[in-house]
Amino acid sequence: MKLLIDDANVAKIKKIYEFYPVDGVTTNPSILAKSGRNPYEVLKEIREFIGEEAELHAQVISLDADGMVKEAEKMVSVLGKNTFIKIPTIPEGLKAMKILSARGFKITATAIYTPMQAYLAAKAGADYAAPYVNRIDNLGADGIASAKMIQNIYENNGFKTQILAASFKNSNQVQELCAYGVGASTVAPDVIENLIKNACVTSAVQDFVTDFEKLCGAGKTMLDCE
Ligand code: E4P
C-alpha cells in the first residue's frame, strides 16, 4: 500500500518526509484554504520539495466538465506530469474523467461515498478512486467495509483503478485497509505519527539504552565503547 500525506502545510510535510517512508502528497480545496496562501504558491512549493517523481494530488474547483478539463490542463502545466487531478465523482466529473483519461491525464476520482461511484469512476478511466472512510463512518455506514467492497469490485471486474483511501481519523482504519491490500492511503500527519506512537516501544528502547550505559558508561554507544 502506498502511503501519502494528506496535508498542504509545507513544514509538516517536510517533517513527515524526514522520518517516514511516504510516496507523495494529496490536497483538497479545504486543506489548501487552511494554509491561507495562494493555492499555486503552496502546491509549487510542495512539488519542489517532494520532487518530480512523487505523486502530487490536487483538486479542480469547477462543477462542469469543460471547466474541470481546463483546470486540469493548467494544473499539469504548472505542477508537472506526475500531478493527479482530483475530480469529484459527480456526473460532470465522470464526463471530465472520460475526456481527460483519453488524453493521458492522471486522475483521482474523489468525494467517493459509495461503491457504485467508485465503479463508475473506474469505467470513466480514473487511476485512483478515493473513498472517504471516516466521513462514511460519520453517516452511520461503514467506511472500511465500503473500501473493501470497492477493492472487490475492482478485482472481480479486472479494473486497473486503484483505491486511494482517504479521510482517516485513526490508526486502526489505516491498518485494516493496509491488511486488505488497497493500493494507497492518504493520511494526515498526526495520524501517520500515531501509526508508530507507542509507549511500550519507547520504554523498551529506553531500557536498552539504560542497560548499555550501565555496562559501558553514560552517553556511550557502539561507536565509542571499545
Ligand atoms: C482526500 O481525498 C480527502 O479530500 C480527504 O482525505 C478528506 O479528509 P477529511 O474527511 O478529514 O476532510
Bridge partners of 85? Answer: 58, 107
Asked about 86 being catalytic, the answer comes back as yes
196: which DSSP letter? T
Q: In one letter, which amino acid is 183?
A: G
**What is the structure's pLDDT at 179?**
98
Q: Who lines ligand 1 at CB under 6 A?
A: 6, 26, 28, 110, 130, 132, 134-135, 166-167, 186
**What is the structure's pLDDT at 109?**
98
**What is the structure's pLDDT at 213?**
98
pLDDT band at 67 (very low <50, low <70, confident <90, very high): very high
User: What percent of the chain clears pLDDT 70, i.e. is strictly above it?
Assistant: 100
How far, in Å, are 8, 151, 177 from residue 73 at the CA level? Answer: 21, 29, 32
Mean pLDDT of 68-89: 98
Dist CA 14 CA 108 (whole Å): 23
Distance from residue 167's CA to the centre of ligand 1 (Å): 4
Rounded to two decimals, the pTM is 0.95
Q: In one letter, which amino acid is 80?
A: G
| SS3 of residue 124 by DSSP | coil
Distance from residue 166's CA to the centre of ligand 1 (Å): 5
**What is the structure's pLDDT at 208?**
98
Mutational test site, ligand 1, from 61, 107, 132, max ligand atoms within 8 Å of CB: 132
**b/e 178-204 (16+ beta carbons within 10 angstroms → b):** eeeebbbbbbbbebbbbbeeeeeeeee
21-57 pLDDT per residue, tens: 999 999 999 999 999 999 999 999 999 999 999 999 9
**What is the structure's pLDDT at 5?**
98
User: What sign does the CA torsion over 24, 9, 79, 76 have?
Assistant: positive
Dist CA 174 CA 184 (whole Å): 10
Question: What's the Rg (C-alpha) of the chain?
Answer: 20
168-223 pLDDT per residue, tens: 999 999 999 999 999 999 999 999 999 999 999 999 999 999 999 999 999 999 99
131-165 pLDDT per residue, tens: 999 999 999 999 999 999 999 999 999 999 999 99
Q: Copy the grid coordinates of residue 125.
A: 478511466
